[in-house]
């Protein structure tokens, strides 16, 4: 229940934002893994856009459409090679109206 409520809350928030999604070119990828590390698992809670979720096999997956390009997941999981992180192509991604 609490999970559903939190999820709804983030989606409502992201709904206010403008994005130009680059179809078929996600700018973040999670590398295949058996079991996620503590940091990778933490992303399912701490990504401000809730882009990371656990699948039913206990692995972490990502959908970066709502990503605000903050870089938190990169700071935690790029060095270990668990994720591959790039900026979206020029002009794509989040478009802050106010910032």
Positions touching ligand SF4 (CB under 6 A) are 28, 47-49, 51, 64, 67-73
Which of 42, 53, 59, 84 is close enough to bind another protein by CB under 8 A?
42
Q: Which does 39 bind (CB under 5 to 8 A by kind): another protein, ligand SF4, none?
A: another protein
61/40 Cα distance (integer angstroms): 10
Rule CB under 8 A: say whether 90 interacts with another protein.
yes
CA-nearest of 9, 26, 8, 73 to 46 is 73
73/84 Cα distance (integer angstroms): 10
Span of 28-36, 55-63, 69-77 interacting with another protein by CB under 8 A: 69-77
State the residues that interact with another protein by CB under 8 A.
6, 9-10, 13-14, 16-17, 20, 38-39, 42, 45-46, 48-50, 68-72, 74-76, 78-79, 86-91, 93-99
């Amino acid at each position: 229940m609490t999970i559903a409520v939190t999820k709804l809350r983030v989606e409502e928030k992201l709904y206010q934002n403008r994005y130009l999604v680059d179809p078929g070119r996600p700018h973040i990828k999670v590398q295949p893994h058996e079991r996620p590390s503590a940091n990778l698992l933490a992303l399912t809670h701490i990504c401000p856009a809730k882009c990371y979720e656990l699948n039913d096999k206990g692995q972490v997956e990502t959908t970066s459409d709502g990503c605000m390009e903050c870089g938190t997941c990169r700071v935690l999981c790029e060095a270990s090679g668990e994720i591959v992180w790039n900026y979206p192509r020029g002009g794509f991604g989040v478009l802050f109206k106010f910032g």
